[in-house]
Amino acid sequence: MREETTIRIRAFRQALEKAVRELPDEYRNGSRWCELKSFPAGSCDLASNCLAQYLKDCGERGEPSILFMCGNETFREEENSTVHGHVIVILDGEYIDLTLDQFDEYTDYILAEPLETGGVLGTLLRKIPQYEGEIETRRINLDRLQGIYAWLRNRADAILKADPEWQGWERSIEEAREAAVKAFPFLSDTQITGSEQIQADTASHVSAQKNRQPMTHVGVITECYRPREVRLRETGTQWVSECGLRFRKSTGAAVGSGVWSANRLDLKSIRKIQSED
């Protein structure tokens, strides 16, 4: 994950913490204040949707999406877990969980965890379906959250401006731009900015790409009757999507659901990704 993305996520977490004390009364009287007043407890849906919208508004690389998971009673008993319904964010091949520390067995939130690396969130998402629990990707939803989101966005921006690490990152970008202007005066500002971004993206993603298992196929999955194409990798009995969803190779149904699940993979649509060589 890029350095500036990590700093932004951390600032948004701080904004959520401050909202418990600082949020104006006009928003405390709203129907969704009850989700935020005991942050991080009970706040995962609000926090994740607002963070995803913030990252989208900031122009972060990739399209942020929401991932819902629900561990049933059997899962909680067998795994000694307190996780029931929970919501996190996926951005550019990384899980983000701002409220994981609401559960007794976890002491901190997660800024970034690469998909398919067997981390805390990856383990949860693998085990929940084993006990017929539910996993579902969703779109960003700010229903009755516009006012709270606007406050959180402005508060996070203010935190960023006062953050020495953010200030240092901005200085480094400006210094790189000035050096590029001196070295290549014939380039436009757009070309210079694009070159800087490519270098930053490359440096930030090298380690994550090394750890991530490659996607070898593409196929069409249907979520709540809405089809979309995703990249896949194959295991002995399942197809696994790039966002961590798992589907049975025998039926195409999502793992943890019945044969007639609304969330499924069209097995006939699967095709191998062709090499560019």
pLDDT at 187 > cutoff 70: no
Three-state secondary structure along 108-171?
Answer: CCEEEEECCCCCHHHHHHHHHHHCCCEEEEECCCCCCCHHHHHHHHHHHHHHHHHCHHHHHHHH
Within the chain, how many helices (H) and strands (E) appear? 9, 10
**Which amino acid appears at position 111 of this protein?**
L
Percent of the chain with pLDDT over 90: 51
pLDDT at 109 > cutoff 50: yes
Q: How is residue 250 written in tokens? A: 């025998």
Q: What pLDDT does residue 112 have?
A: 92
88, 44 Cβ separation under 8 angstroms: yes
Q: What does the alpha-carbon distance between residue 24 and residue 12 come to, in Å, rounded to a whole number?
A: 17
pLDDT at 28 > cutoff 70: yes
pLDDT at 154 > cutoff 80: yes
**Which amino acid appears at position 181 of this protein?**
V
66's CB contacts (< 8 A; 6+ apart) are: 48, 49, 52, 87, 88, 89, 90, 137, 138, 139, 140, 141
pLDDT at 177 > cutoff 80: no
